[in-house]
């Protein structure tokens, strides 16, 4: 018979799994308290929730949400990073943390992930970590859209500039 604490935890996990656009399953063993706190603060700044949860309860919640193939991922100690707004934010935070800590650190290691409803293996983490943020992509798109308009405006203004230049040089030669 399940206890009330596990029932409440399962309900909370179901809610988080169903509401997340990405879930990163990580192996955190080997991080000391200072490193764990630094990692949690980086996740907090990026609006990512990072929690250690019982594998059995997570397994039930992910299966109820239709995610299959996570049995191997949910072995051993596992912490979950929930990307709610930006699904690539957890990958960038982990990459940034590993870069700060140096090459000697290999934890947290991504064991697998659910990204936009698809179960992916850990190799996709590297690809997602190298993607620019949503804001950067929007800025590039805006710059790409704005560039042809600026070029067209410049071409249309060129004859007027040239005429003004000719008139100014004519004025200087007559003076």
Query: Is pLDDT of 80 > 90?
Result: yes
> At residue 103, does pLDDT exceed 80?
no
Give the pLDDT confidence of 23-73 residue by residue, as tens digits. 999 998 888 888 889 899 999 999 999 999 999 999 999 999 888 888 888
User: Quick one: average pLDDT of 85-99?
Assistant: 88
- The yes-or-no verdict on residue 104 having pLDDT over 60 is no
Of all residues in the chain, the percent with pLDDT exceeding 90 is 16
The pLDDT tens digits for 115-135 are 888 888 888 888 888 877 778
Tokens of residue 3, six digits: 């206890």
* Residue from 124, 96, 97, 130 nearest 111 by CA: 124
List of long-range contacts for 61-70, beta carbons under 8 Å, 24+ apart: 61/10, 61/13, 61/14, 61/16, 61/17, 62/17, 62/23, 62/114, 64/14, 65/14, 65/17, 65/18, 67/17, 67/114, 67/119, 68/119, 69/119, 70/25, 70/112, 70/114, 70/119
Output the pLDDT for position 101: 64
Show the tokens assigned to 92: 């960038």
Residue 81 pLDDT greater than 90, yes or no: yes
Is the pTM higher than 0.75? no
Distance CA 17, CA 106 (A): 26
Instruction: Output the pLDDT for position 23.
Output: 92
């Amino acid at each position: 018979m399940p206890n009330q604490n596990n029932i409440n935890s399962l309900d909370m996990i179901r809610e988080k799994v169903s509401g997340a656009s990405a879930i990163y399953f990580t192996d955190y063993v080997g991080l000391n308290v200072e490193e764990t706190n630094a990692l949690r603060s980086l996740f907090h700044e990026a609006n990512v929730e990072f929690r250690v949860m019982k594998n059995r309860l997570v397994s039930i919640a992910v299966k109820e949400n239709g995610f299959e193939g996570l049995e191997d991922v949910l072995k051993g100690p596992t912490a979950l990073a929930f990307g709610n707004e930006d699904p690539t934010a957890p990958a960038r935070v982990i990459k940034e943390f590993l870069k700060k800590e140096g090459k000697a650190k290999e934890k947290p290691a991504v064991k697998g992930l659910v990204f936009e409803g698809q179960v992916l293996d850990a190799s996709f983490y590297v690809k997602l970590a190298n993607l620019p943020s949503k804001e950067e992509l929007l800025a590039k798109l805006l710059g790409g859209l704005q560039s042809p308009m600026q070029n067209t405006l410049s071409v249309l203004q060129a004859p007027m500039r040239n005429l003004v230049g000719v008139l100014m040089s004519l004025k200087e030669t007559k003076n």
